[in-house]
Amino acid sequence: MDAQEELDRLSGVFFTQGEFVASVSGTTTPVVDPATAQEIGAFPHVTAAEISDVVRAANVAQKAWWAESGLHRSELLHEVASAMRRISPEVAEIMTRETGKPFKESSDEMMWSVSATDYYAEIGRHSVGSVIGTSVAGQMHYTLKEPMGVVVVILPANFPVLLLMWEAAAALAAGNAVIVKPSEYASLTTLKFMEAFEALPAGLVQCVTGGGEVGRQLVSHPETHMIGFTGSVPTGQAIAKACAEQFKPCLVEASGNDAFIVMPSAQLRTAARAATFAAFLNCGQVCTSAERIFVHEAVYDEFAAMVVEETGKLRIGNGLGKVDLGPMEHAGELARFEKVLARALEQGAKVVQGGGRPEGLPVELQQGFFHEPTVLTEVTPDMDVMTEEIFGPLAPLCKVDSFDQALELTNSSQFGLGATIYTSDPVEMHRATNEIVTGMVWVNAPLLDNDAGPFGGRKMSGLGRQLGAEGLDTFRHTKMVMVDPAASEQDFWWFPYSDEESFTPEA
Ligand code: NAD
């Protein structure tokens, strides 16, 4: 593949009814490679009329899709997974060029998406309801699981394919059609990825590009039936409010500022490597990044030295090279992150590793949006860096004097996405898993996901669950059915009421 030729082909189009179509919109936004700051393409902001056509096509395709057998849907979804394997190298290259993440991470993302798709291909046909013990003899009571209809998936840039497929695979397996509104910073990747859906009926999966206004139109459109949103808290709130107007169900996966607790019984070198990975994977732009690292005072200095050492080994550069870290997603994110860091220093934190833009990058990367992975000590819980989401390459180390204090600080956050603890003490493990108020808790195993188990947040981190069986039900209605095959008289409660059951005043 000639990458630039491919980016040119994907520029200016959206994906509808199985084809890439040039948008009539006069508004386009340039796409910039964050490693080089060079323009590599452009995406259109599709028009209201184009959105209406896409929604209409999705509704037609959805009805035919749901009329098929569960086995047929499963077979076609397995074909999608196979196509994803086949196109993975090309999509991963485009993803790295557009988002900056190392090619290995782009490729991993493709493979994780394959396993989620295969998983939902199977559980989608496993059960479409359950039989319930009757409340009246001789009847049949059961539930039917039915699709929502047209599901709109609105995405951020940090995992453009994975976050799409965690929702789209489940939604499709449940019998829905999907319209994707990708991030402004991953639109060409998402368009390229549409090739994975070749086996599906035209119109079942479509991709419309644009900014918040395109997302807003899809959310409020009366013929879309559910919204799956991943992104920031303010946008999540705006979408939840818009959905409330129509009582449209929505899944909201919003921000996090996950705690990472290190106790004295932890295997310290392993914990330091884990914290370095959890803080800096994808340049810290992961909703479940380790953002508040609480270290017991007995091991604080030793642990900090190890994290500094591990961080010092990381190679930074173009994600297409032999590197561990690429640039941040875009110039705006770099500028925002630099303010977060400056504020932490102003409030008394100390840089012990990194702290600025990397020096010595090759000339073609010198305008790129790079920042050194940075380790902070002398961090206190009241600092802004510990209360707001960081979403960048920063590992703030905060000293705690006890396990109880670590738990209390972990739970003091407005967010509740995930939390990690490193310990070898079974009592601490048990208490952490029971007492931490988040959607996920990892004990000595940071950032792991499992297609077969649920993912999602509590508090300001969001609403609802994706992945696992719960993540399938997120995209299904439950219908209760009660049948009396004999159409029997049900005089135990029908008219006329008996006089004996009427109100009798006390004598
Ligand atoms: P964002 O909220 O700015 O944008 C996300 C998407 O929403 C974009 O596609 C955008 O165009 C669209 N949008 C904006 N306004 C809209 C509106 N009014 N109606 C409909 N759509 C609208 O988020 P971002 O900055 O791109 O993403 C970063 C955030 O995503 C971080 O806070 C991160 O924690 C979060 N995130 C959460 C998870 C999770 O699973 N909880 C996963 C990844 C990222």
- pLDDT digit string, tens, across residues 64-110: 999 999 999 999 999 999 999 999 999 999 999 999 999 999 999 99
Give 243 Cα–ligand 1 centroid separation in angstroms. 16
Measured CA to CA, the distance from residue 114 to residue 44 in angstroms comes to: 28
What pLDDT does 290 receive? 98
User: CATH assignment of 3-254+461-480, given 3.40.605.10, 3.40.50.2300, 3.40.50.300, 3.30.1330.10?
Assistant: 3.40.605.10
494: how many CB neighbours lie within 10 A of its CB? 8
pLDDT at 44: 98
Whole-model pTM over 0.95? yes
Read off the pLDDT of residues 231-277 as tens digits, 9 standing for 90 and up.
999 999 999 999 999 999 999 999 999 999 999 999 999 999 999 99
**Position 195 pLDDT exceeds 90:** yes
Name the band, by pLDDT with cuts 50, 70 and 90, for residue 190.
very high
Q: Which of 109, 162, 232 to mutate to test the pocket of ligand 1 (most atoms within 8 A of CB)?
A: 232
Contact assessment for residue 247 and residue 172, using Cβ atoms and an 8 Å cutoff: no
Atom of ligand 1 nearest to the CA of 182: 9
- CB of 187 sitting under 6 A from ligand 1: no
Residues sharing a CB contact under 8 Å with residue 2, sequence separation 6 or more, in sequence order: none
Q: Is 208 in the pocket of ligand 1 (CB under 6 A)?
A: no
Nearest alpha carbon to residue 396 among 449, 440, 348, 430: 348
Measured between alpha carbons, how far is 265 from 10 in angstroms, rounded to an integer? 52
109 lines ligand 1 (CB under 6 A): no
Q: Is the pLDDT of residue 125 over 80?
A: yes
Percent of the chain with pLDDT over 70: 100
Cα(252) to ligand 1 centroid in Å equals 10
Q: Is the CB of 389 under 6 A from ligand 1?
A: yes
CB contact at 8 A, 84 and 120: no
Q: Ligand 1 pocket test: pick from 235, 241, 467 the residue with the most ligand atoms within 8 Å of its Cβ.
A: 235
Which of 241, 248, 287, 337 for a ligand 1 pocket mutation test, highest count of atoms within 8 Å of Cβ? 287
pLDDT in tens, 259-269: 999 999 999 99
Give yes or no for residue 158 CB within 6 A of ligand 1: yes
pLDDT tens across 364-409, in order? 999 999 999 999 999 999 999 999 999 999 999 999 999 999 999 9
Instruction: Write out the residue limits of the CATH 3.40.309.10 domain(s) in the chain.
Output: 258-456
For residue range 404-439, list pLDDT tens digits in order: 999 999 999 999 999 999 999 999 999 999 999 999
Q: Are strands 258-262 and 418-422 parallel, antiparallel or unpaired?
A: parallel
Give distance in angstroms: CA of 230 to centre of ligand 1: 5
Quick one: tokens of 66? 């749901």
Q: Which of 478, 481, 475 is nearest to 123 (CA)?
A: 475
Structure tokens at 358: 């990397």
User: Could you list the active site residues?
Assistant: 253
Q: How high is the pLDDT of residue 507?
A: 76
Where exactly does CATH 3.40.605.10 map onto the chain?
Answer: 3-254+461-480
**Does residue 333's CB lie within 6 angstroms of at least one atom of ligand 1?**
no
Can you tell me which atom of ligand 1 is nearest the CA of 239? Answer: 19
Mean pLDDT of the chain: 98
- Per the CB < 8 A criterion, the answer to whether 251 and 227 are in contact is yes
What is the spatial distance between Cα 307 and Cα 301, in angstroms, rounded to a whole number? 10
* Structural contact between residues 284 and 391, judged by C-beta atoms closer than 8 angstroms: yes
CB 317 near ligand 1, within 6 Å: no
The whole-angstrom separation of Cα 208 and Cα 197 is 15
Give pLDDT tens digits for 196-228: 999 999 999 999 999 999 999 999 999 999 999
Nearest to 171 by CA among 422, 502, 476: 476
Q: Looking at ligand 1, which atom is closest to the CA of residue 462? A: 41
Q: Which CATH architecture has domain 258-456?
A: 3-Layer(aba) Sandwich (3.40)
**Residue located via tokens 């393409």:** 41
Q: Reduced to 3 states, what is the DSSP secondary structure of residue 356? A: coil
